[in-house]
Amino acid sequence: RKLSGFILGVASMTRFFQIFLVIPIMLSYFYLVLVRRERTKDFVLFLLCFFAPVVPYLIFNTYLYNNMFYPFALQAFMTKNTGWVFNQPISFYIVNLLKENLLVVFSLLGITNLLRTRNFQKNMFLFILLFAFILYNLTKHKEMRPTTT
Q: Read off the pLDDT of residues 51-90 as tens digits, 9 standing for 90 and up.
A: 999 999 999 999 999 999 898 888 778 777 766 677 788 8
Report the C-alpha gap between 114 and 93 in whole angstroms.
Answer: 22
Is the pLDDT higher at 52 or at 2? Answer: 52
Residue 20, pLDDT above cutoff 90:
no
Rounded mean pLDDT of 16-20?
A: 77
What global pTM score does this model have?
0.71
Residue 139: which of 3, 44, 15, 36 has the closest Cα? 15
